[in-house]
Amino acid sequence: VHTNGNITTFAGNGTGGFSEDNVAANESMLNSPHGLVFDSSGNLYIADRGNMRVRKVDTNGIITTVAGIDSEGYSGDGGSATAAQLNHPYDVVFDASGNLYISEKLRIRKVDTNGIITIFAGDGGDDFSGDGGAATNAGLDSPAHMAIDQSGNLYFADFNHHVVRKIDTNGVITSVYGVGGAAGNSNDSPKKLNTPFGVAYEREKIDALGLDEDILYIIDYHNHCIVQIILRGKDSGEPQSGNAYVDADILWGKEGTSGFDGDGDTAWDETARFYQPETMITNFTTTSTGWSRIYHIADFQNQRVRKIVEEGVIATDNETS
């Protein structure tokens, strides 16, 4: 979608399937594409889920395969990613060093800058297990969207386990929000999720005092809402013992209630309704006098992309805005 609101086709020709690489992306076939990410050079990577591949569209619009072959499965660790099997890749994300992470049915794989693929998380089992140990020994079940924070920790929605998990820079996995293997809602103790689909991370958040916080947004698919958790902040400190977050709230949507509402409302933050939202991206910018934050939410069953814009003035001398 261009800045003037016009939409054009960037990749795919409207027919599901696989066509050969090294052609114009908008003439090629894709098969149920899901996660997208840009690298630092402006190339777009696509989790081509039905084709069991990760595709790359370069800045000239040419499409190639960077991981996966023409069959599903699990093989190839330690070798070239283009010779490895993937199992329905769902999302792709880069770390600061240029390594590519791929979530798939029971695992998360890593492709380094030399194109070598290895296992990053998941032991191949679908039971919920492994917290506090090596991520490669943990059980995952349909890990979906991922996000990496400024310290290099990777967060992901462990979809069928109803929990958001974190893999730190030492490769240790823990649960951040939700109870592994148990669906529920925020009224439960401890708080629960119902098949979380997406996560989005944001370092910059200007609160009433103009302080920064680490924020993780969770798209709670079957609860039809977006959850905001504060991981840590200058004003709120570190999480208390036994808890992975400082605070958690339902940001938008009425938990457990699907629908479509809120567009154009002055009280949209209270009236907004979603129907199985899947993922969200955020864009936070500041100027010398203010800030703006733009959210785009994939509202799956409503067949829409929703946009939310927040703007504010940076306060000075302990004033609020």
13 is a domain residue: no
Question: Region 99-117: what's the mean pLDDT?
Answer: 99
Checking 186-192 for CB contacts under 8 A at 24+ apart, the result is 186/227, 186/248, 186/250, 186/255, 191/248, 192/162
The C-alpha angle 159, 129, 278, rounded to 5 degrees, equals 10
> Which residue segment(s) compose the domain that 168 sits in?
23-272
CATH number at residue 76: 2.120.10.30
pLDDT digit string (tens) for 205-260? 555 555 677 899 999 999 999 999 988 755 555 565 556 778 889 999 999 999 99
pLDDT above 80 (res 319): no
pLDDT digit string (tens) for 261-283? 999 888 888 899 999 999 999 98
Q: How high is the pLDDT of residue 68?
A: 99
Indicate the pLDDT class of residue 292, thresholds 50, 70 and 90: confident
Query: What is the spatial distance between Cα 184 and Cα 223, in angstroms, rounded to a whole number?
Result: 8
Helix (H, G, I), strand (E, B) or coil at 2: coil
- Give the list of residues 6+ apart from residue 313 with CB closer than 8 angstroms, or none: 289, 290, 321
pTM: 0.92
180 is a domain residue: yes
Q: Indicate the average pLDDT of the chain.
A: 91
303 is a domain residue: no
96 is a domain residue: yes
- Give the list of residues 6+ apart from residue 173 with CB closer than 8 angstroms, or none: 121, 130, 131, 132, 133, 134, 135, 138, 165, 166, 167
Question: Region 162-181: what's the mean pLDDT?
Answer: 97
| Whether the Cβ atoms of residue 66 and residue 44 lie closer than 8 Å to each other | no
| Whether the Cβ atoms of residue 305 and residue 298 lie closer than 8 Å to each other | yes
Give the total residue count for the chain.
Answer: 321
Question: Region 54-70: what's the mean pLDDT?
Answer: 98
Which one is predicted more confidently, 235 or 68? 68
- Give the list of residues 6+ apart from residue 262 with CB closer than 8 angstroms, or none: 252, 268, 271, 272, 273
132 is a domain residue: yes
Cis peptide, bond prior to residue 190, ω within 30 of zero: yes
Query: What is the spatial distance between Cα 276 and Cα 195, in angstroms, rounded to a whole number?
Result: 10
- Can you name the residues that pair with 16 across neighbouring β-strands? 30
312 is a domain residue: no
Domain count, the chain: 1
4 is a domain residue: no
| Whether the Cβ atoms of residue 202 and residue 148 lie closer than 8 Å to each other | no
Q: How many Cα atoms within 13 Å fall on the side-chain side of residue 199? A: 32
